[in-house]
Structure formats: structure tokens, C-alpha cells
Amino acid sequence: MPDADSPSAGRSPQRLTLPGQPDGPAVTRGVHKVFIGMAAGVGKTCRALGELRERLDRGEDVLIGVLETHGRAGTIRAAEGLPVFPRRVLPYGETELTELDVAGLLARRPAVVLVDELAHTNAPGSERQKRWQDVEALLAAGISVLSTVNVQHLESLNDTVARLTGVRVRERVPDAVLRAATELVLVDLTPHDLRARLKAGHVYGPEKIDQALGHFFTAPNLTALREIALRQVASVVEQAAPQGSPGVQEVVVVAIAAEESAARLIRRGGQLAARLHAALHVVTIRGPRVTPEQARLLDTYRALTVALGGQFEVLGGDGGVAAALIAYVQLSRATQVVMGETSRSRWAEVWRGDIIKQVLRGTRNVDVHVISRD
């Protein structure tokens, strides 16, 4: 399979007014081109640097905003001679950390900026928590961005990747960032070739090679990640394509409780909503008492829902959990409902009824998906 710019998703630049300038002239949103791959080492950053060099040769005003070389000789060579914008220095204890200087770039206003590793979490003291939020600020100001990301960092795929690879990725990017990108470039490499690059020392230092080959970078893991990357880019391209006459509007409702397993339900619902081009609603029923831990979980799930492009609702449950959920399904005209296996004891089900069975009896023309707790 060629290492080509295809598949890619093209979208028209948007017009918007900058925050704080409601009466000012509209600004054309910058173009966001994302280079995505299955894992570290496939060549995303080098491809982005190559495009930046081509733009420089055409006379465009380009800068490297953030480049993470990880000491890789090939990446360092690819960046030679390209103009670099100084990073912002942030004190951190007895040391210093550096991050993308968004304010400096907004003042400098180049045409194109390269921002490596979109999922990166910024250092404490930064204006924004995540690097993808920094990129959003640049795009909103009319500055175009070339960025890179690995598919395992996408929010909706977190559970899938953890199940396949045994690795839970902590730094994540909302799927909406990819869907809003102007263009996606899939940087592809076969698992065999990537493992060969690892063995040759092109990705990690000698002390990390054996561990990487035996854990995350196994042939089955890379094969699965490659398939996920191909599917993900194809899915985004399909969603960006012009749609014909709209049929029934799909609405996905995910019912959760303030439990640790709820994140997986929300991501499954987000995947379903993306495939169906559907609206995503995540709902929970307000209990008589909410512990601080439950409140924390619900705040986390609200943020996760927003990251997946959905809306989060807390419903009153005076008439019972099932009744509140059925009423919401009817009110929202839901076509799909996602629920988890009950965590209630069989004794509680006898006394208060099985919620899933009640929802099945109380709804019509709705597909109910029951997700295993495993």
C-alpha cells in the first residue's frame, strides 16, 4: 500500500469572527491538515516536514512551532534549514519546560505552522491544557496548521485500542478535531516495515527496542492498529462527503450511571453515532444522594461526551430510572439506545424490575444495544 495522501478529506474554509472582536471583520479560518498513522515511527512528522519545506520553496511564510524529534536522526535531517519559532519557556519546580508559543505566533502571524504531536498535554501554567486546543486558537486566527497524531490517541477508540494492545493511552484527542480538519493524510506503513525500522534503531534508542517489539509493537497489535487507522480515515472521509436527501434522522441515546464502566458505554455510543451520522445524547438519572466521587465521574463523563460531539443531560428520576429514560427516549425521538448490563443484584431486580426489560417494553421503533460489563 503506497504511502500516499489518500484517503483525504477536503472541506471548505469557514468564516468566523474572533472572540473579543464581535464587530470586527470576519477572518478566514486557517486550513488544518492532519497527518495520521497507526503508531510512532511510520513517518508522519517527516511527511509534515516535507510539506513544510515544499511550501517554503514556493515562497510561503512557514514556521516550525513545535517539533518533537525524540532524537531520531531522520526527523532531525528532515527539519534542517527550516525556520523555527522559539518555544515558550515555563518554570516547573527547579527546571524549565517549553511549549508552543501561541501568543507569539498570533502576533507574528505566519501563513503555516507545523505543530507536532496533537495529543500532547501542555505543562502546568500553560493557557490551555492540550496542544490541540492551541492549534484551534491558531486556526481561529486564520493561521494554517500541519499537525500529526497516532490513531490510538482518538477519544472514541481508547477502549478498542486498550482491548487490542493492552495499553491504555492517557493523552487523547476529541474525534471532533479530526472531523473538523480540512484534510487528513494517512501515512501508512506495513507492520513488517515498521518493526524493521524499530530493529534498525530508527524509532527508539537501543535500550527500548526489545521492550517495544515485545509489547506494543507486536505484529498482531500493529496489524490491528493499521486496520483501525484505515477505517478511521475512511469513516471521516465518508462523513465529510456530501449526503443525499436526508432520511430519518438518527439519534443515539446512551444511558449511564456514575460508575467507572460508563466511559466505555459513552465511547461505544459515540462510535455508533459517528457511523450513523447521528446526534449523540448521554443521559444519567439523578439519584437521591451524589457522593463526591460520583460527582467527579459525572464531570468526567460530561467532558467526554462533549469531546465526542454530544450533549450530556442529568434527568430527574422521581418516577423511577426506567420511566425517566423511556420519557427521554420518546422526547428526543431516539432511534438507538445504548445501555450497559445491570450492576444491580438479582434481588434488587425482583423488587424494582429489570431496567433493560422495562425500556424494551416501553419503547417502539428503537434499537436497544446492551453492552457487556466485561
Segment 220-233 mean pLDDT: 88
Percent of all residues in the chain with a pLDDT value above 70, rounded to a whole number = 87
For 281-302, the pLDDT digits (tens) are 999 988 778 888 988 899 989 9
User: What burial letters (b/e) apply to 65-77, b meaning 16+ CB within 10 Å?
Assistant: bbbeeeebebbee
- φ/ψ of residue 254, rounded to 5: -110, 120
- Strand ranges for 118-157 from DSSP E: 144-150
User: In this structure, are residues 156 and 175 in contact, taking their beta carbons and an 8 Å threshold?
Assistant: yes
Q: What is the reported pLDDT for 340? A: 86
Q: What is the mean pLDDT of the chain?
A: 85
Q: What is the reported pLDDT for 312? A: 94
User: In this structure, are residues 196 and 189 in contact, taking their beta carbons and an 8 Å threshold?
Assistant: no
The DSSP letter of residue 162 is H
Q: How confident is the model at residue 21 (pLDDT cuts 50, 70, 90)?
A: very low
* Beta bridge pairs of residue 27: 16
CA dist., res. 16 & res. 279, Å (int): 24
144-148, 200-204, 357-361: the lowest-pLDDT one: 357-361
Segment 32-50 mean pLDDT: 95
CA dist., res. 198 & res. 149, Å (int): 19
User: Is pLDDT at 230 greater than 90 in this prediction?
Assistant: no
Burial class (CB in 10 A: 0-12, 13-18, 19+), 220: exposed
Q: 3-state DSSP helix/strand/coil percent for the chain, to nearest 5? A: 40, 20, 40
User: Is pLDDT at 62 greater than 90 in this prediction?
Assistant: yes
Model pTM score: 0.71
User: In this structure, are residues 254 and 266 in contact, taking their beta carbons and an 8 Å threshold?
Assistant: yes
CA dist., res. 229 & res. 226, Å (int): 5
**Residue 33 grid cell:** 491538515
CA dist., res. 308 & res. 272, Å (int): 11
Structural domains of the chain, ranges and CATH numbers in brackets:
15-240 (3.40.50.300), 251-371 (3.40.50.620)
For 311-321, the pLDDT digits (tens) are 999 988 777 88
User: Is pLDDT at 249 greater than 50 in this prediction?
Assistant: yes
Q: What is the reported pLDDT for 374? A: 61
Q: How confident is the model at residue 360 (pLDDT cuts 50, 70, 90)?
A: confident
